A and B are shown apart, each in its own frame.
Chain A
Amino acid sequence: MEFELDEEQQLLRRTVRETVAKVRSRPAGQQWDTYLRLGWLEAPPLELALILEELGYAADPTPFLATATWFAPLTGRLPEGSGTAVFDGVGRYVLDADRADEVALLTHRGVIVVRGTELAAERVPVLDPHLHAAHVGAEDLAAKVPDLALVGLAATCVGACRRVLDLVLDHVKQRVQFGRPLGSFQAVKHKAADMHVAIERARALTHFSALTIAEDDPRRADAAHMAKAAAGECQRLVFRHGLQLSGAMGFTWENELQYHLKRAQACDLLLGTASVHRKALLA
């Protein structure tokens, strides 16, 4: 197999990063229109994972994740506008359920799509301030989550973790203590190196999982559990070391670190934590 991004994929990654940075300060509706116009919602799995990694990196506030990796794989199409899906059995913590144009309900009788306005969805406050989640009153639901939904969360998580590491690196290169930059201390270096290895590990498994979906490889179910579990394990390490190495500054609301830590944490908690997916892998 070849496990190197080709030139087009590398170009896509750069384009996404630049575009997201450019539209960042605009209202969420305009960001969404930009993503729609660029056709990102229609990207195949690996490209989608690359886009989501960048959106995770930027703590993106749009309903892209739920629309592309929850609604689309369940219904086999894109929604008019934005979409989400209910598949956790009781319709709790459904991404973007309070603002999606269409909602896919996975029931024992199959997938039913309803207008967002037909659904009683109540937004719940969650730790990530840019993430919309709502409880919806829907019952009689199966719990089979599409592989792509797991990859979507894993890729977003990897992006958020990478951002945390980048912020930490900036900080420890600049901040001087005891007459030396923090980053010259071995205790700091070793934590940073471990974060890097955990991110590379999770990213490799995420890309692999996206590839198995793209090629409908028999390993796809296992690969999706691995990607989600590795992203969860990664965020746990990155959260711990990232917040620690940022010192008191990282413990404030003003520092943007918090958005990325929370995005990463949210990606682990949604649709089963690392531990849940490790167990699924053993089953």
Chain B
Amino acid sequence: MKLADDPEVEEFRAQFAAFLDAHLPEEAEARERAGSSAHVPAWARRWQRTLFDACWLLPGQPPEYGGRNAGLPQQLAHLEELARRRIYHSFNPQGLGIIAASLLTFGTEEQKRRWAVPILRAEITAALGMSEPEAGSDLASLRTRAVADRDGFVVNGQKIWTSGAHDADVLLTFVRTDPEAPKHRGISALLIPTGAEGVVRRPFGSIAAEDDLDFNEVFLTDVRVPRGNLIGNVGEGWRVANGSLGHERTLLWLSYAERLEDLLRDAADAGAGQEWYATLRMDLTALRLLGYRQLGLDRDPAEISVLKLLGSEAVQSASLHALEAHGAEGLEHPKRTGPYHHMHHEHFISSWFERYARSFAGTIAGGTSEIQRNIIAERILGLPR
């Protein structure tokens, strides 16, 4: 255990920092903001392509997929440098971090060429069809059916909370291919083009605004999906889901840390001097320390639940306190019509109420806080199911 930075990681960080300083989009160029998590403005497409071409998009991948075979500490430094500049590598984070990543892990060469590379090059965008009306945190309960016929599958069912589906070109969809198998075993992963006949997407507003359209309901009626769109083998969907989420989750805590840091900075500007501020600074420091520890080898994956719980709840608490610190000013809720300034994240998330309301995404999405507590109790502390 030591405080000093690893010189190899710092060299990597310095290289990337120099690249960013030379290529970061200009504010004037980057004013159009993303409408949903799969709507990528033209400037953001160019930006992602620039990172891909220079092998700075997903540093953990090999060069042909926009990376340089970097280890986890380097990947962390990469995300930290992006966060420090308040910009993302992709405005379609699920497309990149989950869908392209799972195609690269589980897909055939043909599938990588056909979908993964175009997603990485920001030529197409992707959304994740996981949750269903009766299967959220309990993903294994999903019911969307895919029946095999001679050259593919016929899919029927419904997805919900599908972020950005109305702007996406393809959906990575988890479907039940074997209703007789135990819950986890009968699931498969299919890539479904959103233009296929029988796919209907209905975006709906979030708590933040009626026209904040990111969530979708997706109705799938007799959708014919060719055999070549099956990712992994039939019945391997659970493995694909876990494998593709696993990578994303390892560094998930960093997004909470960055948000917490933003909130604390903004709350300090509002004159917050209360003791909660000290407690949240401790949360932030502990989150980073435990996150660094997580980079060590052989950590129990259940420890990611500790990071998710600590991080998401600290962000929520910080948002509430920041709202409170602003008093009546916190009521103000301007329409989110302002341009996107990647250097000034707060221009995008415009009201204090909205920041508080959105903090619940962290304690609900990707397994609720209640599920995380169950995982900690059962897998780390050994309590009976």
Q: Which residues of A contact B (CB under 8 A)?
A: 1-6, 9, 46, 165, 169, 172-173, 180-181, 183-184, 186, 188-190, 192-194, 196-197, 200-202, 204-205, 207-208, 211-212, 215, 217, 223, 226, 229-230, 233, 275, 277-279, 281-282
- For A211, list chain B residues within 8 Å (CB): 1-3
- For A233, list chain B residues within 8 Å (CB): 279, 282
- For B380, list chain A residues within 8 Å (CB): 196
User: How many CB-defined contacts (below 8 Å) exist between A and B?
Assistant: 129
Q: Are A3 and B289 in contact, with the CB atoms below 8 A?
A: yes
Q: Are B306 and A3 in contact, with the CB atoms below 8 A?
A: no
Q: Is B374 an interface residue (CB 8 A)?
A: yes
**Least CB separation from A230: chain B residue:** B282
Q: Are B373 and A208 in contact, with the CB atoms below 8 A?
A: no
Q: Are B290 and A193 in contact, with the CB atoms below 8 A?
A: no
Q: Is B358 an interface residue (CB 8 A)?
A: no
Q: Are B383 and A189 in contact, with the CB atoms below 8 A?
A: yes
Q: List 26 A-B contacts (CB under 8 A).
A: A1-B5, A2-B296, A3-B296, A165-B381, A169-B381, A183-B384, A184-B385, A189-B374, A189-B377, A189-B383, A192-B376, A193-B373, A194-B373, A196-B376, A197-B376, A201-B283, A204-B285, A204-B289, A204-B290, A215-B4, A223-B285, A226-B281, A229-B278, A233-B282, A281-B281, A282-B278
In the complex, what distance in Å separates the CA atom of A180 from the CA atom of B382?
A: 15
**Looking at the complex, which one of A6, A173, A181, A275 makes contact with B275 (CB distance below 8 Å)?**
A275
| CB-contacts of B247-280 with A (<8 A) | 273, 275, 277-279
**Looking at the complex, which one of A193, A204, A217 makes contact with B3 (CB distance below 8 Å)?**
A217
- For A205, list chain B residues within 8 Å (CB): 282, 285-286, 289
Q: Is B309 an interface residue (CB 8 A)?
A: yes
Interface residues on B, range: 35 or more
Q: Are B384 and A197 in contact, with the CB atoms below 8 A?
A: no
Q: Are A282 and B376 in contact, with the CB atoms below 8 A?
A: no
**Looking at the complex, which one of A9, A46, A193, A208 makes contact with B289 (CB distance below 8 Å)?**
A208
Q: A193-B373, A215-B4, A229-B278 are in contact. List 16 more A-B contacts (CB 8 A).
A: A1-B4, A3-B292, A169-B381, A181-B383, A188-B377, A190-B373, A190-B377, A192-B381, A196-B380, A201-B282, A205-B285, A205-B289, A233-B279, A275-B275, A281-B281, A282-B275
The 7 closest A-B pairs by CB, nearest first: A189-B377, A4-B296, A278-B278, A183-B383, A193-B373, A193-B376, A3-B292
Instruction: Give B1-15 as 1s and 0s: 1 = Cβ < 8 Å from A's Cβ atoms.
Output: 111111000000000
Nearest CB on B from A170, distance (A): 10
Q: Is B98 an interface residue (CB 8 A)?
A: no
- For B381, list chain A residues within 8 Å (CB): 165, 169, 192-193, 196
**Least CB separation from A1: chain B residue:** B3
Q: Is B310 an interface residue (CB 8 A)?
A: yes
**Looking at the complex, which one of A172, A223, A275 makes contact with B383 (CB distance below 8 Å)?**
A172
Q: Are A181 and B384 in contact, with the CB atoms below 8 A?
A: yes
**Least CB separation from A180: chain B residue:** B384
**Least CB separation from A275: chain B residue:** B275
- For A188, list chain B residues within 8 Å (CB): 377, 383
- For A196, list chain B residues within 8 Å (CB): 306, 376-377, 380-381
